[in-house]
Amino acid sequence: IFRLILGVVAVTAGGAAAAQSKPQRPALVAADLRPHQSLDGPWRWSIDPYRDGFAGFHGGEPGPSTRRWQDRTIADVERSDPRALFEFDLQRSPVAQLPGSWIGHAPEMRLYQGLVWYQRSFEAASPKPGQRTMLRFGAADYSTRVYLNGKEIGRHSGGFTPFAFDVTKALKAGTNQITVAVDSARTDADVPPPVTDWETYGGITRSVSLVTVPETYVDDAWIRLTNDGRVAATIRLDGLNQAGRTVRVRVPALDLQFEGTTDARGIWNGSAPAPKMLKRWSPEAPTLYDTLVEAGPDTLTDKIGFRTIEVRGDEILLNGHSIFLRGISMHEEELGKNPVRAMTHTAARALLTEIKQGLNGNFVRLAHYPHSEVVTRLADEMGLLVWSEIPVYWRVAWDNPEALAAARAMMTENIVRDRNRASIILWSVANETPIGEARNKFLRTLIGDVRALDDSRLVTAALLSRREGDVSTIDDPLIPDLDVLAINTYNGWYSDDRLAKLPNISWRSPATKPLIFSEFGAAALAGYHDVGADPHKFSEEFQAEYYRRTLEMAAKVPFLRGMSPWIIKDFRSPRRQHPVYQQGWNRKGLISETGAHKAAFDVLSEDYRRRAEASA
């Protein structure tokens, strides 16, 4: 028996690199709306700081102490061989509720970075002929290996995008055991690189589910309104019968129906004139239509809004009308004293309501990585325009092909997941990346990918500017490649400018393109007041005055088309350790971690109220 236990799970060499080089298949688009069996809930967990589960007791090859995930439980073996040695037993390990980062599992997990094993069992019906079952993760941060009934079924890298594996063959009728290894440690080849300004929420942070589909099914469906007034569809089937299949798109409420036949790759592109009665999606009227994609036995259902977004000169046009983006940035971190990154519908609604109703906003920058689909769906439903980005952040290893592969896979997974969301108008490829040849090349590759995947949205990147005296110049070599320019600027916070002088700063741009201030901000500890004439940094008064003066400056930039100041809520950041003002939190929120409004909140809200009235 002991020997039998030694039959270790072989680790497929090169698996991780392969997983990074291209996005995951199946894509399983709109999986969250397909009927599914949820695997959320109680899971067993155990830390593995030396990665014995992969490498063995002395490192290197797996050995006797290596964790093994065969069908038999450790308890079974122990009963028949009381002398068997085990130094792990997931079946008797503590229980955590998933999804949710491991920060919430136990107090000592707060600062843990590394490998954690998860396990649970579940019942499955016997697979029906002509059906396939996919195991889908909304996200796990950062790299993941998945085992079903003792066999490795796949891997994924990247903490913020969904992935799925076809488990039809690995699944048994009756009780199944799933084991997941999640490692939060990142190297320079990863995206983001190890150093950021937010908490790494390691773990299984989004829902896990089993989705059953017909053998040949709609894996990817992208449906949008084109600038020339057509409803266009790009559909990809996956399965033995993917070629030469009839595919039909239906929007019952619009009496719209059109169809065509897939090519050898299972792909069909088709379109039809948009019906006159179509109500275009906008923040003021976020109309969504039940949209069906029918292909033989499979019907995929999604809720889709139809709108156009374009740039003309230095203007951004939504449905043909010039708009100003009244926004704010947001991290995927729920309100509360001890956020664990488990973005529920309720938690997302609380934050987006602060933006939409509290701030009179119409726009949110989802920083600095793809947020939960719960958030992007809610933005569609509530009417908030969205900036979506991947964490190509600060010092990425521009020369490392693995880093580029990771970024490309992540960008593709993000776009494929979300290109049916009307709310998303901007894909951003980078944040505050130092200019250089290797960086420019890296980002141009990403921009090319974005345009190939989605020609219906705008491409941007958060850039830095060059300041001389009171003149700030935007002169990044990437400008010609972008539709919308975006600048992060922190004059008066990271510089020692007097706040009263901020309105004097003027902006120069070499291109006739719209500009967004993708960030500006100042920190304040909620409840800390300094009512003197020259308030101290970190006081609510300083932050409020910083906003007043920066908004005065912004009002004078003729080509400014929006802003997303930094940030709606104080968020956890390990680099913010001032014992009095920060205590592990980046305090640039307009509300505290528990939801207390700071004085600056009203300053921005009032500015946006006036802007909204002026544009109504």
Toward ligand GCB, which CB reaches closer, 52 or 570? 570
Q: Please state, in angstroms and rounded to a whole number, the distance separating the CA atoms of residues 332 and 318.
A: 26
For residue 566, the minimal CB distance to ligand GCB (Å) is: 5
- Looking at the Cβ atoms of 493 and 608, the one nearer to ligand GCB is 493
Cis peptide before 142 (omega within 30 of 0): yes
Name the helix (H) or strand (E) containing 6.
helix 2-6
3-state secondary structure of 379: helix
Distance (Å) of CA 142 to CA 103, 147, 241, 349, 558: 14, 17, 35, 26, 42
Stretch 151-190 residues interacting with ligand GCB (CB under 6 A)? none
Choose which of 209, 271, 412, 586 interacts with ligand GCB (CB under 6 A): 586
Contact call for residue 52 and ligand GCB (CB under 6 A): no
* Cβ nearer to ligand GCB, comparing 199 with 432: 432
- Closer to ligand GCB at the Cβ: 520 or 608? 520
Residue 103 contacts residue 341 (beta carbons within 8 Å)? yes
| Residue 558 contacts residue 548 (beta carbons within 8 Å) | no
Q: Residue 143 or 488: which CB sits closer to ligand GCB?
A: 488
Asked if residue 588 binds ligand GCB (CB under 6 A), the reply is yes
Residue closer to ligand GCB (CB basis): 45 or 369:
369
Q: How far is the CB of 273 from ligand GCB (least distance, A)?
A: 43
CB 190 to ligand GCB: min, Å: 17
Binding marks (x or -) toward ligand GCB, 308..327, rule CB under 6 A?
A: --------------------
- Shortest separation between residue 432's beta carbon and ligand GCB, angstroms: 5
Query: Tokens in use for 133?
Result: 């079952």
Please list the residues that pair with 427 across neighbouring strands.
388, 459
E strand or H helix at 148 = strand 143-148
User: Which residues, numbered 540-579, are part of the site for ligand GCB (CB under 6 A)?
Assistant: 566
Q: Are 71 and 177 in contact (CB under 8 A)?
A: yes
Whether the bond between 99 and the residue before it is cis, its omega within 30 degrees of 0, is: yes
Of residues 368 and 457, the one with the C-beta less far from ligand GCB = 368
Are 149 and 170 a contacting pair, CB within 8 Å? yes
Ramachandran sector of residue 351 (left: φ over 0; alpha: ψ -120 to 50; beta: rest) = alpha
- CB of 242: closest distance to ligand GCB in angstroms? 42
Q: How far is the CB of 443 from ligand GCB (least distance, A)?
A: 16
Site string for ligand GCB, 15-44 (x = CB under 6 A): ------------------------------
Q: Which of residues 241-270 bind ligand GCB (CB under 6 A)?
A: none
Q: Look at residue 8 and give its three-state secondary structure.
A: coil
CB of 490 to ligand GCB, least distance (A): 7
Q: Is the peptide bond before 192 cis (omega within 30 degrees of 0)?
A: yes
Residue 519 binds ligand GCB (CB under 6 A): yes
| Smallest gap from residue 173 Cβ to ligand GCB (A) | 48
Measure the CA–CA gap between 404 and 435, rounded to whole angstroms. Answer: 16
Kindly tell me which residue out of 161, 179, 488, 564 binds ligand GCB, with binding defined by CB under 6 A.
488
**Token pair recorded at residue 522:** 């100042």
Closer CB to ligand GCB, 66 or 433, in the complex: 433
- Closer Cβ to ligand GCB, 212 or 329, answer by number: 329
Bond before 477 cis per omega within 30 degrees: no
Shortest CB 197 distance to ligand GCB, Å:
4
Which amino acid belongs to residue 163? F
Cβ proximity to ligand GCB, 103 vs 567, nearer residue = 567
493-496: which pairs have CB atoms within 8 A and are 24 or more residues apart?
493/520, 493/521, 493/522, 493/523, 493/537, 493/546
Residue nearest to ligand GCB (CB): 197
Restricted to residues 390-419, the positions that interact with ligand GCB (CB under 6 A) are: none
For ligand GCB, the closer CB: 165 or 520: 520
Number of C-beta neighbours around residue 410 at 10 A? 25
CB 167 within 8 A of CB 146: no
Nearer to ligand GCB, 314 or 432 (CB): 432
The count of chain residues that interact with ligand GCB, using the rule CB under 6 A, is 9
| Cβ at position 464, least distance to ligand GCB in Å | 9
Site string for ligand GCB, 364-393 (x = CB under 6 A): ----x-------------------------
Nearer to ligand GCB, 31 or 463 (CB): 463
Neighbours of 230 (CB within 10 A): 15
Residues 6+ positions from 333 with CB-CB distance below 8 Å: 198, 199, 201, 339, 341, 569, 571, 572
* Cα–Cα distance measured from residue 427 to residue 410, given in angstroms and rounded to the nearest whole number: 12
Residues written for the chain: 616
User: What is the phi/psi pair of residue 73, to 5°?
Assistant: -85, 160
Helix (H, G, I), strand (E, B) or coil at 186: coil
In the complex, the residues that contact ligand GCB under the rule CB under 6 A are 197, 368, 431-432, 488, 519, 566, 586, 588
